[in-house]
Each structure stands twice: as structure tokens, then as C-alpha cells.
Amino acid sequence: MVTIYDVPADDLIEAVAARLEDRIDEPDWVEFTKSGAGKELPPEQDDFWYVRSASLLRKVAQNEPVGIERLATEYGSKKRGSNRYSVRPGEHEGGSRKLIRSALQALEAEGLVTTASGEGRRVSDEGEAFLSEVATEVFEDLDRPELERYA
């Protein structure tokens, strides 16, 4: 059985994002929001919501139980001020907690993630099956000779 650890992360996230487009709805405000306080502009990707949701699902599966604060730290960036006035070293600024919370709530409503009281979020059994199914498809579609030894 293929797991999320057996396939490259970017290929898995891309495949999960394509599947999530049918399962969860994108909020109206996503096209206007920034992905964190350290960013000046919103993301330019058309499918940003689904890619971030897929990435969150993978992160929760790897690090469960995990809370929103720790996820915000992982999705953060350096805040350097305006592009014109970069006069001091940047400091780490966390990612958008509302974006993360909303995506996790959408995944939870779909049954892929559950809340462990006092601990954070965990992947449900349905979520693990979903990720394993997508990882199997991605592994079969890969044309990478260095991964043949894992088959």
C-alpha cells in the first residue's frame, strides 16, 4: 500500500487539490485575502484555496495532532516591510490563521479531518483512505526511475 511518504509532496498536493475542487467550496473572500501578514498581495494562483487545503491535509496527516498556531508558523514568511523600504532584517511573521482555520473547517465538514479536544486536528479514517488512494494513483502515474526500488 502506498502512503503519503512514498510520493513527492508537490505531486501529491497537486492531485489532492484537483480532487478537493469537487468536494469543498471556496469561500468568496479568498480571492481578496493575503496568505499571511508578511505578504503584500494576495496569491496569484486561481486554485490557491484548494492547493492550500490539500497542503494542510498533508501537514495534518504528517504531524497529527496539530493546532492552528503551529500550522500558522509553518506557513509563515519573513516580514520585510514594503518592497521600497527594506532597511532592516526581516522577522518571521505567521501565516493567516483565518485561512488555515476555514480550510480545516471545510475539510472537517467533508469528514477528512477531526478535532481532538485539547490537542488539535487529526486526519480521520476517511481522510487517511482518501490520501492513500490519491498517493497510489500518483505513484502509478510517476515516471521516475529512482522510485522503482520502492514499488
What is the mean predicted confidence (pLDDT) over 120-146? 88
List the single range of 9-18, 26-35, 106-115 with lowest mean pLDDT: 26-35
Closest CA to 123 of 138, 110, 113: 113
Determine the pLDDT at residue 127.
93
Closest CA to 69 of 48, 90, 96: 96
Cell of 33: 485575502
Amino acid, single-letter form, for residue 43? P
